[in-house]
Structure 1
Amino acid sequence: MDQIYAVALHQIFGLQFNKHFLPLYEYYGSWQEMWERGHQAPPPGNMPLYMWEKFLERRKTLNPLALVQELERKKIKVVTRLEETFPATLLQIANTPCMLYYRGDLNFLQKKALAVVGARKASPYGLTQTKTIVQELAQHDLVIVSGLARGIDGAAHEAALAAGGKTVAVLGSGVDIPYPRENKDLYHKIGEAGLLLSEFPPGTQPLDINFPVRNRIISGLSSGVFIVEGQAKSGSLITCDYALEQGKEVFALPGPVTSPLSMGPLRLIQQGAKLVIYAQDILEELGYEYTYNLFNRHQEKIINITREEKELLNIIAWEPLHIDSILARWDIQRGNVYEILLKLELQGLIRQLPGKYYVKI
């Protein structure tokens, strides 16, 4: 019953409630008590007068019961930091959220998790590596946490779900607001099979200022942060900064030094982040008993291919390569090249991209 009034107060104060949540609760003893007699005089302490005046004004028209009934209608649940089910890892970070709104299975937050972040305008290389590595991580029961953004975030969520694993999307909007639009279907999939999470009251729009703030939750829920791609001043680096402040591991995927999207991860590697080639690199660092790796699977696939197929496979890189470049590097008839490319693609060793580009997977 008391949670009803906490939700109403959060609707009034927004994220400013984080700072005053515990002092107010200690003073009034319950949120119902504050709602019913808080208008009589400002509470002692450092709560600004304008916040109290805002409370007085909104209290006249806001109906706590109707507010909670609306959450129930939208199938949104709430957990406050006073409850046992609140994730313990978030109690250890700066500016602990006073409450979380969610859809899905909150028990995911009791398991070991890894944050996966990166560029919104990701390269085919970044998307391919995200899918490959995350699927293996998810198969080892590591929960994948990300922000549902386009690019690397979305690829990480998709890969976790495809592997039958667990994924958590921490939103920069209300938990009832799908964003971005192109990930709306993914948003619904996560709501059904994973966990959608937000500290912002329902109805909050995805404003730019919300995303850096929510990044502390992405890292706070996780044992480490894995950055796949990002420019030198990428927003993904904010999540890595939070991770370092929180004493978490930072992992980075190397990429071509000629690509602006590689600058963020490469700089982090220079500063001591763990370089990641395979999922094994992350799992071993987080204390998992590793049983298999991508390299072994790749080797198994190429055991039975022909000499010509191996030669062509060695030409194709992790970065997209145009058919003209392939033909220029390999002295064989054009028709035979296309035939061998098709065989390699059917065996899951390469992928054809739009524009007659090919990439190793």
Structure 2
Amino acid sequence: MRFTDNEKATYLFCAQLSQTRTIPLTILEWNTIVKSLGCHKLQPEALLSMDSAALLNILTQATTSQKTKIINKIEARRKLGISMLELEEIIHQGYGIMFRSEMPQRIKKLTQKYVPAFFYYAGDPSILSYRALGVVGARDANSDELAQTEIIAREAATQGVIIISGGARGIDSTAVDSTLQNGGKAVIFPADGLAKWVKKREIREYIKNGQLLIMSTQKLDAPFSGSYAMQRNKFIHAPSDAVLVASSRISGEKSSGTWEGVKENLNLQWSPLYVIGNSEGIVKLKNDGKAKLFISLEDVYKVNTQGSSKILSKINQKIKDLVECAESEGMDKKTIEKLFLDQLDSQFKLEKKYHSEKPYQTPKSEDFEQLSIEGLVTKD
């Protein structure tokens, strides 16, 4: 697999490399660099050859203290040639690396502040294109909560809804196991590296069958990390169309990972919450009006598609108005249809070209020719 210079730079400066004690850039530092480079119409590949003096001038979005740390880290890593060896070895072992330019929109719901520079993954990334139900809950959930979770995950398998979860024992593993055993698909964001997971025969079989995708920003051989378990909650909540909270206590002297993830979701409004059971956290969510009682998947997706239906209705009306206006100019329907499709195709190709050339920049509306009645009626 060939990597672009942008990808090489991203990995070199952001990865936890095995054969060095140099420290990678934090996500905050990387975002600062990307923003600074963007202001000068540059991309990460420029870091591979830029000297410290030039980098200092480029870092317009960084504070004075940030500049010193960033330059020291960049200088220490730039001298290394082992990152490409690690990249090649990772691919050779059958893993993949998903950089930001390849991440689906549902992950980018996190916004750049939280989106990692890359994920390691094992499995088929296209699984993320399906409707998704996040499932979170306690490791020590009771039998009723586990039974309900199992039924819901089984129903998800029959309706083409994937399960996104953290893979921990209890609610997480119950949901994932149930959907996979019934022919469904799942995405796991574990709190450790992927190497431990792919050693399990059943995991390898599900990956081979195209049912399972495992993703992590941790090194492949990283052990379980309590702090990362908290951090990766966002990867479950944000990409999901809705999140089922099956069991949770409220954080007290000891933090509850489930509860902290729920609070973060509520604060940033990533995905609507649905609940089952009567555990402490569930009761509070219901009483505060922060979550709805789960009834069925049909109910969840009926509610969550109402906004999309309104948007689609507006688009259909605009297209209808556009066609009527073109007809009033004396154009026949076949000509209108051909020109309309030609313009859509042209705009799609422009956007695809833009994203391939500038994967780290967000396009503005003026970057593309907009579909309009003038574009239709002025065609020869």
1:93 corresponds to 2:105: no
| Counterpart selection for 1:240 from 262, 266, 278 | 262
Map 1:1-361; keep pairs closer than 5 Å: 1-2=4-5, 3-11=7-15, 12-20=24-32, 22-23=34-35, 25-26=37-38, 27=40, 29-39=42-52, 41-43=54-56, 44-45=59-60, 46=62, 47-81=66-100, 83=101, 85-94=102-111, 95-178=114-197, 184=200, 187-192=203-208, 193-233=211-251, 234-244=256-266, 245-255=268-278, 262-272=279-289, 273-287=291-305
Q: Which stretches in structure 1 are left out of the alignment for 5+ residues?
A: 256-261, 289-361
Deviations, residues 90-123 of structure 1 (Å, cap 9, x unaligned): 3232422232221111112222211001011222
SS at match of 1:88: coil
Amino acid at match of 1:250: L
Q: Which stretches in structure 2 are left out of the alignment for 5+ residues?
A: 16-23, 307-380
Amino acid at match of 1:116: V
The verdict on how the C-alpha distance between 1:175 and 1:52 changes in structure 2, with shifts beyond 3 A counting, is: farther
State TM-score, norm by structure 2: 0.66
Instruction: For residue 224 of structure 1, report the CA deviation from its aligned partner.
Output: 1.2
The verdict on how the C-alpha distance between 1:208 and 1:202 changes in structure 2, with shifts beyond 3 A counting, is: same
Distance 2:295 2:129 in 1: 28
Instruction: For residue 13 of structure 1, report the CA deviation from its aligned partner.
Output: 1.7
Amino acid at match of 2:118: M
Amino acid at match of 1:75: G
The verdict on how the C-alpha distance between 1:279 and 1:88 changes in structure 2, with shifts beyond 3 A counting, is: closer
The verdict on how the C-alpha distance between 1:57 and 1:30 changes in structure 2, with shifts beyond 3 A counting, is: same
Deviations, residues 327-359 of structure 1 (Å, cap 9, x unaligned): xxxxxxxxxxxxxxxxxxxxxxxxxxxxxxxxx
Amino acid at match of 1:229: S
The verdict on how the C-alpha distance between 1:278 and 1:75 changes in structure 2, with shifts beyond 3 A counting, is: same
Distance 2:151 2:244 in 1: 14
State TM-score, norm by structure 1: 0.69
Distance 1:217 1:225 in 2: 12
Distance 2:93 2:154 in 1: 31
Q: Is the 8 A contact 1:120 1:150 kept in 2?
A: yes
SS at match of 2:77: helix
Q: Is the 8 A contact 2:97 2:119 kept in 1?
A: yes
SS at match of 2:180: helix
CA RMSD of aligned residues (A): 2.6
Distance 2:233 2:13 in 1: 24
More deviation, 109-118/27-36:
27-36
Q: Is the 8 A contact 2:176 2:186 kept in 1?
A: yes
